[in-house]
Amino acid sequence: MKVKVFHIRLTKEHLETDQETVNNFLECVTVLKTETELISGQTNFWSILTFYDEKEKVIAEKTSDKISYTASTELTTEEKEYFECLRLWRQDRAEHLGIPSFMICHNSELITIAKEKPRKVEDLKKIKGFGERKIAKFGDDIIALLNSILHN
């Protein structure tokens, strides 16, 4: 068993990146137990103590027919522009819905979209993280945004 501590700062400029860090970590481990505490101070934050085990390689090597790139994937200049547009769309949509932006799409999903450049809603089905529900909620917006970028 291993232990890791996270701090989720409750400021607009840090909240999304701190949450993304935790989510990326959680994809790679099996969580055994967590302890949380809200720390009040100059900057309020959640302190999260996580007890975990590394996922077994068999699970980590699970193959999927869906396309996925990691958050550390190198992007071309053009792909960075797509990613930034998608990120701004996600942020705007999250504010409109009153939910954290990671609940709409993770950065790795936006990176995959930026690299693959789907042209139709059906193409989103090939991307890891996009099931029927997410496609129904956000698919038309994403494709419209990409098509507007690609045609400019």
For the chain, the average pLDDT equals 88
Q: Verify that 91 and 141 share a domain, yes or no.
A: yes
* 3-state SS class at 4: strand
**Same domain, residue pair 43 and 92:** no
CA-CA-CA-CA torsion for 45, 134, 151, 111, nearest 10 degrees?
50
pLDDT band at 71 (very low <50, low <70, confident <90, very high): confident
- Within a domain: residue 28? yes
pLDDT tens profile 74-114: 889 999 999 999 999 999 999 999 999 989 999 999 999 99
Q: For residue range 38-70, what is the model confidence (pLDDT) as tens digits? A: 999 888 999 999 998 886 543 334 456 898 888
Q: Which residues span the domain enclosing 137? A: 77-150
Q: Tell me what pLDDT residue 65 has.
A: 84
Kindly state whether residues 87 and 145 are assigned to the same domain. yes
Helices (H), the chain: 12-26, 57-60, 77-97, 107-116, 132-134, 140-150
Whether 63 is in a domain gets the answer no
Residue 26 pLDDT > 80:
yes
Residues 6+ positions from 93 with CB-CB distance below 8 Å: 101, 104, 138, 141
